[in-house]
Amino acid sequence: MNRVSLSRFLIEAQRSPSPINADLRLLIEVVARACKAISLAVNKGALGNVLGEAGSENVQGEAQKKLDVLSNEILLDANEWGGHLAALASEEMDDPHLIPNRYPKGNYLLVFDPLDGSSNIDVNVSIGTIFSVLRCPEGVTDPSADDFLQPGTRQVAAGYTVYGPSTILVLTLGNGVHQFTLDREIGSFVLTQSDLRIPEDTSEFAINMSNQRHWEAPVQRYIAELLAGREGPRGRDFNMRWVASMVADVHRILTRGGIFMYPLDAKCRDKGGKLRLLYEANPMGFIVEQAGGAASTGRERIMEVQPHTLHQRIPVILGSKNEVERVAAYHAEG
Ligand code: P6P
């Protein structure tokens, strides 16, 4: 079968009725190439001396894994010279990384979690890269963190790469969600699914149940109803999955539906939540909405939240539209 490569898909997107420009095409190709390099490192595992701790901490005060640091460096090196970016920001860096003056600057900002799901790296469970593309504000040549503080509705593109049994890049340019699988024999991402759609209903939920005693009442009520199954108010049984790699859980939901929840709880309330707004919740929210799903904090649409800090955290409830709306309704009832 003669599949469409990512490069061809992007060239055709440049010619489409709502065209992307050459810089955005280059940006996506560069990020995809970096994800191929990350995939190779991840797949080496213990043979590549890339497992274990790096001996440093990130801005969240979390111990960095060697692969966290390596993935971050791969994305920085890949994106510095192309002339498509004004700056980059990452979970692994306190402040934005400006494009060195020896290279041309572009009009886009790239913000990413270079390797999400770090707790799973050393136990060989799927992990991933999450990225979001914003426009650099007009006239800004040396962006500060403030220039990244844009609501998710301003995203130009978003995507993730999940390093699982196969390496899969999922991308939205604002016109649907498309899936590309890495063909290692030719070394290219090839289109394997167009226009992914999330079923509006589901019988599968994803949440870390060990936090149950810390949840707010609306979430307690919602999960209790799911656990009550067919004898309860929902009248049917539900299944549960929790990979503890957001990319893996979201990819399952994009593939067969479901609801993913990392709600506000007493443990993470003072931080505003567990997951990060700019490089986890917003890109995943964009992708999920483009696939017909919904993404909420429980109290508002994630993509409409005005960020106040670069590494801001936020509650995340996303996936099958009717379930997300039910959870939001329970929050509204108080
Ligand atoms: P917990 C991974 O560290 C992450 O940021 C997400 O990928 C994942 O959904 C969540 O945290 C897992 O959190 O508390 O279950 O370990």
| pTM confidence score | 0.97
Q: Is the CB of 60 under 6 A from ligand 1?
A: no
What is the predicted pLDDT for the residue at 266? 92
CATH number of 204-333: 3.40.190.80
Ligand 1 midpoint to CA 245 (Å): 6
Q: Is the CB of 283 under 6 A from ligand 1?
A: no
Buried b (16+ CB within 10 A) or exposed e, 267-278: ebeeebbbbbbb
Q: Is the CB of 244 under 6 A from ligand 1?
A: yes
Give, to the nearest 10 degrees, the angle between helix 282-290 and helix 246-256. 10
Q: Is the CB of 246 under 6 A from ligand 1?
A: yes
Residue 289, exposed/middle/buried by CB under 10 A (0-12, 13-18, 19+)?
A: buried
C-alpha distances in angstroms, 116 versus 6, 40, 43? Answer: 23, 16, 15
Tokens at 59, concatenated: 């801005």
Candidate from 60, 259, 262 with most ligand 1 atoms within 8 A of CB, to mutate: 262
Tell which atom from ligand 1 comes closest to the C-alpha of 249.
9
Q: Is the CB of 319 under 6 A from ligand 1?
A: no
Ligand 1 midpoint to CA 46 (Å): 23
| CB within 8 Å of 119: residues ≥ 6 apart | 244
Domain ranges of the chain: 6-193, 204-333
Residue nearest to atom 16 of ligand 1 (CA): 244
Tell me how long the chain is: 334
Ligand 1 midpoint to CA 244 (Å): 5
Residues of the chain with pLDDT under 50: none
What is the predicted pLDDT for the residue at 195? 98
Q: Which CATH number fits domain 6-193: 3.40.50.10490, 3.30.540.10, 1.20.1250.20, 3.30.450.30?
A: 3.30.540.10
Residue 122, exposed/middle/buried by CB under 10 A (0-12, 13-18, 19+)?
A: middle
Q: Is the CB of 258 under 6 A from ligand 1?
A: no
Tokens at 194, concatenated: 């167009």
CB-based contact 328:316 (threshold 8 Å): no
Residue nearest to atom 12 of ligand 1 (CA): 244
Encode the chain in three state secondary structure: CCCCEHHHHHHHHHCCCCCCCHHHHHHHHHHHHHHHHHHHHHHHHHHHCCCCEEEEECCCCCEEEHHHHHHHHHHHHHHCCCCCEEEEEECCCCCCEECCCCCCCCCEEEEEEEEECHHHHHHCCCEEEEEEEEECCCCCCCCCHHHHCCCHHHCCEEEEEEECCCEEEEEECCCCEEEEEEECCCCEEEEEECCCCCCCCCCEEECCHHHHHHECHHHHHHHHHHHHHHHCCCCCCCEECCCCCHHHHHHHHHHHCCEEEECCECCCHHHCCCEEHHHHHHHHHHHHHHCCCEEECCCCEHHHCCCCCCCCEECEEEECHHHHHHHHHHHHHC
Taking the CA atoms of 172, 175, 177 and 181 in sequence, report the sign of the dihedral they define: negative
Gap between the Cα atoms of 70 and 274, Å rounded: 23
Tell which atom from ligand 1 comes closest to the C-alpha of 245.
7
Q: Is the CB of 91 under 6 A from ligand 1?
A: no
What is the predicted pLDDT for the residue at 2? 83
Q: Is the CB of 207 under 6 A from ligand 1?
A: no
Ligand 1 midpoint to CA 90 (Å): 17
Ligand 1 midpoint to CA 86 (Å): 30
Tokens at 101, concatenated: 């003056």
Residue nearest to atom 9 of ligand 1 (CA): 246
C-alpha distances in angstroms, 208 versus 11, 101, 129, 314? Answer: 41, 45, 21, 16
What is the predicted pLDDT for the residue at 57? 87
CA 138 to chain CA centroid, Å, is 26
